[in-house]
Amino acid sequence: MKSFVCRRCGNCCRWPGAVKLKTGEPEAIAALLGIPAEEFYEHHTRITPDRMHLSLVETPEGVCEFLGADDSGKACCVIERAKPAQCREFPERWNFPGWRKSCGAFADEDL
């Protein structure tokens, strides 16, 4: 794989699926948002279908609810400073089937 450089297209945040949270991540995100952890758990997390993990909530279209846009219109993570490890580790440590075709970092390549 070529050296990955994120172009902030946001396509990885638009891909449906669980963003599994590790220990301490919900509390860190809640603190960043300035809300109690209990409120974060109630409104911004769900149990994964296998009932093994806690995950961020998605929109009905499968988009991460924390996907935003900066002043220039580029995708940005609203919780960047407390972004879950799963998101920080994309695509080197985890990815999804077909990710290279939808990832803006590879838009200029023949896949």
Per residue in 38-79, pLDDT tens?
A: 999 999 999 999 999 999 999 999 999 999 999 998 999 999
| Domain-embedded: residue 46 | yes
Mean pLDDT, the chain, rounded, equals 89
| Domain-embedded: residue 2 | no
Contact (Cβ atoms closer than 8 angstroms) between residue 35 and residue 82: no
Range of the domain at 87: 11-106
| Domain-embedded: residue 79 | yes
> From CA 87, how far away is CA 23, in angstroms rounded?
15
Task: Provide the pLDDT for residue 2.
Answer: 57
Task: Provide the pLDDT for residue 107.
Answer: 60
* Predicted structure pTM score: 0.85
Of residues 74 and 98, more confidence is placed in 74
| Domain-embedded: residue 5 | no
Task: Provide the pLDDT for residue 111.
Answer: 46
| Domain-embedded: residue 67 | yes
Residue 35 has pLDDT above 90, yes or no: yes
Tokens at 7, concatenated = 């172009």
| Domain-embedded: residue 51 | yes
| Domain-embedded: residue 88 | yes
The number of domains in the chain is 1
| Domain-embedded: residue 22 | yes
Of residues 99 and 108, more confidence is placed in 99
> From CA 12, how far away is CA 90, in angstroms rounded?
8
